[in-house]
Amino acid sequence: MFERFFKLSEHGTDVKTEILAGFTTFLTMSYIIFVNPDILSTTGMDRDAIFVATCLAAVVGTFVMAFVANWPIGMAPGMGLNAFFAFTVVAAMGYTWQQALGAVFISGVIFLILTVSGVRSWIVQGIPRSLQSAIAAGIGLFLGLIALTSSQIVVSNPATNVGLGDLTSHQALYAILGFLIIASLDALRVRGAILIGILVVTLLSIFIGHSEFQGIVSMPPSLAPTFLQLDIMGALSMGLAHVILVLVLVEVFDATGTMIGVAKRAKLIEEGKPNRLGRALFADSTAIVTGSLIGTSSTTAYVESASGVQAGGRTGLTALTIGIFFLLALFFSPLAGVVPSYATAPALLYVAGLMLREVSEIEWADVTEAAPAALTALAMPFTYSIANGLAFGFISYVAIKLITGRFRDLHPATVIVALLFVAKYAFE
């Protein structure tokens, strides 16, 4: 059956290798079942329902990836997109989480249309590599700031805006310990380093008495508090157009870049040969729509899938295995509910550091590339908004290229996005 569905021999793999690869990827990306509820619950959403929605969105996206694309890539609600949802759209801009879910749904539908029509590929080809790298780095800086503030290592200061918190507080000490565990284990190539770090800090906080043990296994909680609670009409009528634009852009760059990178490592995309990239792109589009309906932020492809590819994963059986483990994770909601924010903060901080590696891809020798890229990355944490970072980057990129007479460097997609952001600031 597996051979018929996934063509294992054609890809030079077998059932045992694929299942091991799927388990490896699950271990490296399963931290999201703890981190996502922690972030989205700050909006007033029910934490237990978010936990269920996170697992189910991962299951749907990964199963579609398995059976439609036959690629070994795991899907789940994306880091950065969940922060944008909670801390920018809801906390900073004042929209309700229901309206934010409506915006995610609309962005998913647009994303699906762009994918099916081929416009998505046109956009990706048209956005400068420097800006794409700066977006990833900026989101990393944004996540880093969130991690440092949630663990009270960085606090507000009336004189300097931000300052150093009390490093002797238990929140800061737990976060520092968690970060050291994660970084050390990852350096030693221990699978599931991020998950292990979260669990060690959580268990230690329970043992010392800073957290209350609520059990490990139970029946899955109710999805009712978030299921079909999205406000699509509210999203359409409340001026969320630029939010939808940001969601679409980040989804386009993040998911597409991740899929191409992982697929190339698995030798699923080779020059001059047919590939299933179009089908893989369809998987994340459908997962975003599904996630918004059940109650979570945008779903995307996970770069951690590269760990499964490294373990030998080459087909959709790897993805199917990942999805099955996310299904099983539904029964561990008590453990997810007891994980404190200072246990997930080290995971956020470590992921932030990994995302900052993208700055090496920026053309620093070319000021017309480097200046907009730097502005993009810096604006995200300092304005506490991924949207502002994108806007500043695109507008400045087009403006500097025009002023310096380098019109040929401008792709129509870049100009269109810049004009949309200009219109957003002009008419808000």
The number of CA neighbours under 13 Å toward the Cβ of 363 is 11
pLDDT one-digit tens code per residue, 72-103 = 888 888 877 888 888 888 888 888 899 889 88
The pLDDT assigned to 215 comes to 72
Q: Which pLDDT band holds residue 188 (cuts at 50, 70, 90)?
A: very high
Q: State what percent of residues in the chain have pLDDT above 90.
A: 12
Q: Among 38-52, 78-92, 142-156, 252-266, which range has the highest average pLDDT?
A: 38-52
Q: What is the reported pLDDT for 265?
A: 65
Contacts of 213 (CB under 8 A, 6+ apart): 206, 338
Question: Over 70: is that where the pLDDT of 253 sits?
Answer: no
Mean pLDDT of the chain: 82
Mean pLDDT of 259-263: 70
pLDDT of 56 reads 92
* Domain boundaries defined on the chain: 2-427
* Cβ atoms within 10 Å of 357's Cβ, excluding its own: 12
273 pLDDT band, cuts 50/70/90, is low
| Per-residue confidence band for 271, with pLDDT thresholds at 50, 70 and 90 | low
Q: pLDDT digit string (tens) for 191-241?
A: 777 778 888 988 898 888 887 777 777 788 888 888 888 888 888 876 677
The percent of residues in the chain predicted with pLDDT above 70, rounded, is 92
Residue 404's pLDDT band, with cuts at 50, 70 and 90, is: very high
Residue found under tokens 């200072």:
342
pLDDT per position as a tens digit, 305-341: 776 776 677 888 888 999 998 998 888 777 766 777 7
- Looking at the predicted structure, is the pLDDT value of residue 291 above 70? yes
SS (HEC) of 12-69: CCCHHHHHHHHHHHHHHHCCHHHHHHHHHHHHCCCHHHHHHHHHHHHHHHHHHHHHHH
